Every structure is written in structure tokens, then in C-alpha cells.
Amino acid sequence: MEAVEYVPRPLSAENVNIIDVTLRDGEQTAGVIFSREEKLHIARLLREIGVRSYEVGCPWLCAEEREIIAAIVREDADGPIGFCRNRSEDIRLAADCGLHNVTISMSTSDYHIERKFGASRDWVLDTMLSVAREARHLGLGFTVSAEDASRSDQTFLTQYFKAALDAGAQRVRFCDTMGVLTPLRTFEVVSRLVDCVGSAIEMHTHNDFGMATANAMAGLKAGAHFVTVSVGGLGNSAGHGALEEVVMALKHLEGVVLPIATDRFREVAEYVAEASARAIPVWKAIVGTNVFAHESGIHADGVLKNPKTYEAFSPEEVGLQRQILVGKHSGSHTIEHKFRNEFGIDIGQEEAQQVLARARAMAIEKKRALFDKELMLIYNQVCAQAAGGGEELT
């Protein structure tokens, strides 16, 4: 078979659609449970920052879940999406909650079909079409999801997607459930699918190998028009492509600006982290505090002269602040900046060098950057010596 060369498709704000799954897949993270008020507040935050479509939970789970879903729907009729299994009764429960849209989940890989269900591909198609008919009968918009799509036979997956779209699905979801794809492979597979079924494909990428955001971007470049994300990447196993990562990558790497208030990303991430009892790692891409924390003398000096030397975007753009830290790798310019601009002390070059030497020694001893009060203690010691006191303050 002759190899086909696929060309990246142009991206625009009109053909990129975000679907957040924090309230559903995020809560399926091992050990995470959102309270009623937390789910309501997360839904409000998502709407406030500009996310228009979001999965709110599983109507079939329990009565409490249905009550929460109904409460969210009362505040927002169009945005919420219910997640349903391949059962007609799940669709009816979703309709009872007042939902207008559902995701119908079905496995398409032989791993799942044969070993999980003990069934056949024909059974998958027949079941999906039966559930789709129920959704259509109840007047619900629906997305048909292919669980484990990345390990599915691609000919069968194409058949499944075509059948779903012919049955009235608004879009079809491509799930890299095991996170086993690479960006290049994702681009190739999704390009082929777009050629066969069109652009109404929703990327649902997992982060087991650390490629969820990259694979989501590759799927969009291949022509998919929809992508699922979660705040902070929260989700099953190693999580998903993160809302903040995908939106900022689109903006700064592809020039696609979505109508989403990125300056509230840190605020939203903090709330979700607190609700899920998960700390935001300081090194977390986009919203981690270390993204804009500079200790290295070379980096700090460059950033102080022009932030663009070491920052791809401003900290304010995602609700953070720049931090100039003093530690083992700091330089004298950092000391001068800290004292003049943060402490209001006009420190000289000689004093700065003396403070730096002591600061480095203390940082090595404590194995961290120094607190402001520790820098002031060092400064007072240097001043006392310079005044001829002979003894250091402790």
C-alpha cells in the first residue's frame, strides 16, 4: 500500500471546541469526591471563564448524583453533558435530570469487546445504535464515545464512527484510554479518520506516558474539531490533557485565541485542587508557581532585563506573579534587584557580593531558596560588620 502523506490542517477559534470533563472524569480519579456545593461551584467557575460545554457526572451512579446534576442543569440548561454507559436506561435517567446532551460510552477495541464483555463487534454496533435511538427518541443531543479507540482495529473504528454519525450523533469521541499514542501516531490516525468521517471528532487523551496535551494538539492539527480537557489534568490513572495547557498552547504556539479567561486559570486550579485534596505541584505546567520563579543568576538577570528572554507569556496571563528567588545559583544582580525593588534598600555592589556569598552558603545548608526575612538577617549581619561591630548578629 502506498504511504499517504498527511498535511496539518489550519486551526482557528471557530473550529476548536473545548469540552471540560473535570466534574465527571476528574472525580473518577482514585480517592477524589466532590461535594454537592463543590460540583456546583466548579460548574459556575467553568462557565465564568468561558467553558461552554462540560460533563457533569453519571446519572446512573446514584440518586445523589442525579440531584446534583439536576441542580447544575437548573443553573445552565445547555452546557451540561451527562455521561452514559451503553444502556438505554442510562439515557432515560439523564433525560429525567433535565439534561439536553449526553455522551454514550462504548468500547471498540477487541481487548474490551472480547475480554471485558465477551461479545462481538456486531454486538457493539447493534448496542450503540439501540442506545442512540433512545437518545434521539428522547430529544437528546448525543456524542458517541469509542473507549480504547487507540487500540481498536481502525477499519472497525471507522465503521463504528460512521454508523454513529449516520444515527444522529453530533460528534464521535476518540479515546486514547491507555495513553499509548505518540503525537506523530495520533496525527496519522486522526488524519485518516477525518478523511473518512469528517471533522466532528472529539479527542479524549490520557496522560499515562506524559503525552496527553501533545496528543490532544496533534489530533486538532489532524482536523478534529473537539477536545476534552480537565482542570489541572485531573482524571483517571495519570489524568488528561489539562484545560490550561491546551488553551495556552493553542494561544501561544498556534495563534488560536479562544474566548476563555486565562487570567483565572490559577484561581480555578486552586479551587479544584482543594476540592480534590490534591496539591498543585510547583512545577506544574502553566499554573505551577515555579513557572515564573527564577533563581539562576543567568535566568533572573535575563528576565529582569526583558521577561521574554525566559518567559513564553506573562504570569498575569494565567493569574500568577513573577518571583525572583535567592539561592545557590543566584547572582549579584538578583540581590541588587531584591533589595532595591522589593525591600526599598539601595544596596551597593560590594554589599551585594557579601550578601550573595552568605546567602549561597545558607541556601546550600538549608537546601532551598531563602525567605525574605533570612535575606534581611544576612544584610543586617553585613551592615554590622561594615560598621566595625566585629560581631555578627544572630
Q: Note the pLDDT tens digit of each residue in 164-211.
A: 999 999 999 999 999 999 999 999 999 999 999 999 999 999 999 999
Q: Note the pLDDT tens digit of each residue in 68-126.
A: 999 999 999 999 999 999 999 999 999 999 999 999 999 999 999 998 899 999 999 99
Task: Categorise residue 152: left if φ over 0, alpha if ψ from -120 to 50, beta otherwise.
Answer: beta
Is residue 293 predicted with pLDDT exceeding 50? yes
Q: CA-CA distance, 100 to 98, in Å (whole number)? A: 6
All 3 cell numbers of residue 56? 457533569
Is residue 1 predicted with pLDDT exceeding 50? no
CB 259 within 8 A of CB 227: no
What stretch of H or E contains 95?
A: helix 88-96
Phi, psi (5° rounding) for residue 101? -140, 145
CB 310 within 8 A of CB 324: no
Strands (E), the chain: 17-20, 53-57, 80-84, 101-107, 141-147, 171-176, 201-205, 226-229, 293-294, 323-324
Is residue 389 predicted with pLDDT exceeding 80? no
Is residue 393 predicted with pLDDT exceeding 50? no
Instruction: Identify the three-state secondary structure at position 285.
Output: coil
All 3 cell numbers of residue 115? 475480554
CB 231 within 8 A of CB 22: yes
Tell me which residue of 75, 116, 117, 115 sits closest to 97, measured CA to CA.
75
What stretch of H or E contains 64?
A: helix 63-75
Tell me which residue of 349, 351, 342, 375 sits closest to 361, measured CA to CA.
375
How does the average pLDDT of the chain come out, rounded? 94
Report the first-to-last Cα separation within the chain, whole angstroms.
78
All 3 cell numbers of residue 292? 515564573
Q: Which residues pair with 18 in a beta bridge?
A: 227
**Residues in the chain, total:** 394
- 387 pLDDT tier (thresholds 50, 70, 90): confident
CB 222 within 8 A of CB 192: no
CB 385 within 8 A of CB 392: yes
- Residue 170 burial by Cβ neighbours in a 10 Å radius (0-12, 13-18, 19+): middle
DSSP state of 208: T
Phi, psi (5° rounding) for residue 147? -65, 140
What domains are defined for the chain? Answer: 14-275 (3.20.20.70), 289-386 (4.10.430.20)
Name the percent of the chain lying above pLDDT 90. Answer: 86
Q: How far is C-alpha 253 from the geometric centre of its chain's CA atoms?
A: 16
Q: Which residues pair with 332 in a beta bridge?
A: none
Check residue 394 and give its pLDDT.
Answer: 43
Phi, psi (5° rounding) for residue 170? -70, -35
Name the percent of the chain lying above pLDDT 70. Answer: 98
Q: Which amino acid, 286?
A: I
Q: Note the pLDDT tens digit of each residue in 321-336.
A: 998 889 899 898 899 9
All 3 cell numbers of residue 329? 545559583
Q: Which amino acid, 6?
A: Y
Instruction: Identify the three-state secondary structure at position 356.
Output: helix
Instruction: Identify the three-state secondary structure at position 196.
Output: helix
Q: Note the pLDDT tens digit of each residue in 132-168.
A: 999 999 999 999 999 999 999 999 999 999 999 999 9
Check residue 390 and give its pLDDT.
Answer: 53
CB 271 within 8 A of CB 44: no
Check residue 306 and give its pLDDT.
Answer: 87
All 3 cell numbers of residue 394? 544572630
Cβ neighbours for 101, distance < 8 A, ≥ 6 positions apart: 53, 78, 80, 81, 82, 140, 141, 142, 143, 170
